[in-house]
Structure 1
Amino acid sequence: MATDLGARIRRLEDRVEIVEQVTKYAISVDRRDWELFAACFTDPVYTDYSELGSPAGSFARDEVVRRISEALDGFTATQHISPNHVVEFDPDDPDRAICHSAMYAQHLLEGSEGGDFYLLRGSYTNHMLRTPDGWRIERIVQHVGWADGNRGAVAEAVARSRAKRIRG
């Protein structure tokens, strides 16, 4: 542990910025603020949502925004809660850290034959990188603990989103 007061303050500032960035991820998807969402990531960014069927890999930030917005824009409303942040700094690289966070994601899809609600619980492993613009997520891995409700809600939300874009 650093004994220098300045170094300790910088570490606290880093921790706050990292947690804030991970929290912005959750807030931005619920607000449908895709500019804020994009600003959470490096470009490219490695994403792993494979436990829900999406391919894992390194993608351009704009592609990640497109895929996530397409899915979530089809929902009536969502609430993503990101608590229990634990930040581990890389002892060999002061510009890297991992932020572990819990995930509680509620999705409302009014009028769906499969049911209006889909709830997802689990966690994220957010690999963080300090950039000239501040800390950003350079790698995100979603870990699904369990799900309740309409398991087909995401596919239906994507279909609704695509239909809106075609009409609009």
Structure 2
Amino acid sequence: MPSRFEDEMAIRALVSAYADAVNRRDAEGMAAVLASDGIIEKPGYGDPVQGRDKILKRYRRLQREREFLCQQIHSGVVHVDGDRASARWWFSETKLAVGGENWLTMVGVYQDECVRLPEGWRFSRRVQTTVMERILVGGMQVTIHDLPEFANMPGLPAL
């Protein structure tokens, strides 16, 4: 059985793999980090999407809509409980819509539920919440969002 440290490192690698796939515009790589029945959710932006095939379709559409997208993961905490885990990751993105002139930068947070599967750790649920958006339109417009309710998880790893 892997140690808690090995599990946490595997989950951190999963997060890095997702961000890397985002930046490489690899929809298949983005979907591959989810369990086959995984769920992605962005409150306030439509219904959750469940199932790797539906999620892959969504990611392909999003990539067709964006001329540029760069995601950076800033910090995270992981709590492993056997074959399940919860995690929180702060991130930022800079993006430009296809044919657009206005750049969007944002700061957000992922709150994840993870599951250990035969192929390794995968996301069973990813909830993305936008905390701040800034649109550059000749000048600057800034929208600050309320912080989301955070998962009941300690800020420091369990020892």
TM-score scaled to structure 1, two decimals? 0.74
Q: CA deviation at 1:35?
A: 2.4
Contact 1:32–1:73 (Cα < 8 Å) also in 2 = no
1:95 is aligned with what amino acid?
D
Tell me the C-alpha RMSD between the 2 structures. 2.0
- Counterpart-to-counterpart distance in 2, 1:62 and 1:110: 24
1:63 aligns with 2:51: no
Unpaired runs of at least 5, structure 1:
1-6, 152-168
SS at match of 2:47: coil
Alpha-carbon distance change, 71 to 35 in structure 1, aligned in 2, over 3 angstroms:
closer
SS at match of 1:72: helix
Unpaired runs of at least 5, structure 2:
138-159
Partner residue in 2 for 1:158 = none
Equivalent residue for 1:126, pick from 112, 116, 119: 112
- Greater helix percent: which structure? 1
Partner residue in 2 for 1:20 = 13
- Counterpart-to-counterpart distance in 1, 2:98 and 2:80: 42
- Provide the identity percentage: 26
- Counterpart-to-counterpart distance in 2, 1:135 and 1:123: 20
Q: CA deviation at 1:116?
A: 2.8
Runs of 4+ in structure 1 off by over 4 angstroms are: none
Aligned residue pairs, count: 137
1:116 aligns with 2:102: yes
Whose relative contact order is higher, 1 or 2, with alpha carbons under 8 Å and at least 6 apart? Answer: 1
Partner residue in 2 for 1:157 = none
| Deviation readout 1:11-55 (Å, 9 max, x if unpaired) | 11111110110121111122122222121000111221123x121
